[in-house]
Amino acid sequence: MGPLGWIVIITAVAGVGGTGLGGVIAAFFRRDSSRIVSLLLAFAGGIMCGVVSFDMIPGAMLPEGAAEETDVFFVIFGVMLGYAVIWLLNYWIDKKTNHEIEHIDADHPKTADGLDELIHADHYARHERESEDGGPANPYQLFVAGVVMACAIALHNMPEGMVIGASYAGNTAAGVFSGTGMVMAVIIGLHNIPEGMAVAVPLISGGQKRWKAILITALSGAPTIIGALLGYCLGTLSPMWLALSLSFAAGAMYYVVFGELMPEAILMWRSKLPALATVIGILVGLMIIYV
């Protein structure tokens, strides 16, 4: 099997396996674990930030196979492009769905209060409950709610996959079972566990059978594979495309970390410890790169 096939398998384990495991934990060991999830999200976000800052962006500045450094403004453009694209797509989904959830009104802050809102699992659960209670929901509304949730999850997982793919493209000499590509796959897989828990809990609360909730949760990690393929294929075209792939993935991941993971970690546990977990994660990321 070629390296691309192994990258798909590794990314599938990180994306589908990580979220699926989170779904299993949520289905059979449901407890109030907000503090644990908060620390895991903050720690994973710190590691991602560290690896992106100390490995991916330097890799974009001097991509593998390039004769000279990339212009710093080209890298800045790639980072801002990645951040802006994910932000705009998230903004569009929020604008289309916020009005359907009662607790989001003129007096409610335009932010999510939990991971289920972040990925719009509450949107899906709301329609599921209405359908079961004989309310206004119908199969089409439930389908649309599912598509909305899938799109939100895809926007959350695709940049993570791009980080894996671009990391592999930026260090092909290390092989598929070593280097930063494998490290990022493991980190993202661990980070997907609490994310999977956040997807499964509202689905089960909304009336879904456990096996179905676990299946939906596991499949929600599939977009990670698409992102990995995109990041790897673009990164192997040329040094310029590798620089763009690395910087775009870095910007997208910055949005995920600072626009989603960190705010959610703080909202789930208003304490100083999530910030400490983030700093520890950044230092762990530094050790991963240089030790």
* Cα dihedral 40→42→48→52 (10° resolution): -170
pLDDT of 229 strictly over 60: yes
Average pLDDT over residues 258-264: 84
Of all helices (H) and strands (E), which one includes residue 213? helix 210-219
Average pLDDT over residues 46-58: 90
pLDDT of 216 strictly over 90: no
Query: Taking all residues of the chain, what is their mean pLDDT, rounded to a whole number?
Result: 80
pLDDT of 42 strictly over 70: yes
Confidence of residue 119 (pLDDT cuts 50, 70, 90): low
Report for 32-36, 94-98, 183-187, 231-235: range of highest mean pLDDT = 231-235
pLDDT of 38 strictly over 80: yes
Q: Where are the alpha helices (DSSP H) in 18-135?
A: 18-28, 34-51, 57-61, 72-97, 115-118, 121-132
pLDDT of 266 strictly over 80: yes
pLDDT of residue 143: 62
Cα–Cα nearest to 245, from 170, 185, 140: 170
pLDDT of residue 197: 77
Residue with tokens 């932000």: 87
Burial of 51 (0-12, 13-18, 19+ CB in 10 A): buried
Confidence of residue 132 (pLDDT cuts 50, 70, 90): low
CA 153-255-150 angle, to 5 degrees, is: 10
Q: How many whole angstroms from its chain centre is CA 87?
A: 13
Which tokens sit at 38? 């908060």
Report for 83-92, 147-156, 242-251: range of highest mean pLDDT = 242-251
The total of structural domains in the chain comes to: 1
Average pLDDT over residues 75-83: 95
* Cα dihedral 254→154→89→63 (10° resolution): 40
pLDDT of 247 strictly over 90: yes
pLDDT of residue 27: 79
What percent of the chain clears pLDDT 90, i.e. is strictly above it? 23
Other CB atoms within 10 Å distance of the CB of residue 37:
22
pLDDT of 137 strictly over 60: no
